[in-house]
Amino acid sequence: MYQIREANSGGKSKKVVVYIIQKGLNHYISIIYKIITQLKK
């Protein structure tokens, strides 16, 4: 029982980490895109 619960919580924390990374990447990409468009002008 304990191992199953531990595995589930581990999977959940991994999902949270992936979610944070994706949010961070999206924010970073938007900043890079703005910089590129500014340089092209």
- pLDDT-derived band at 14 (thresholds 50, 70, 90) equals confident
**pTM of the prediction?**
0.45
Q: How confident is the model at residue 8 (pLDDT cuts 50, 70, 90)?
A: low
Cα–Cα distance measured from residue 28 to residue 24, given in angstroms and rounded to the nearest whole number: 6
User: In the prediction, which pLDDT does 16 show?
Assistant: 83
| Average predicted confidence (pLDDT) for the chain | 82
Q: How far apart are CA 29 and CA 23, in angstroms?
A: 10
Output b/e per residue, 2-37; b: 16+ Cβ within 10 A: eeeeeeeeeeeeeeeeeeeeeeeeeeeeeeeeeeee
Task: Kindly tell me if the per-residue pLDDT of 35 is higher than 80.
Answer: yes
- Cα–Cα distance measured from residue 23 to residue 21, given in angstroms and rounded to the nearest whole number: 5
Q: Give the pLDDT confidence score for residue 33 in this predicted structure.
A: 95
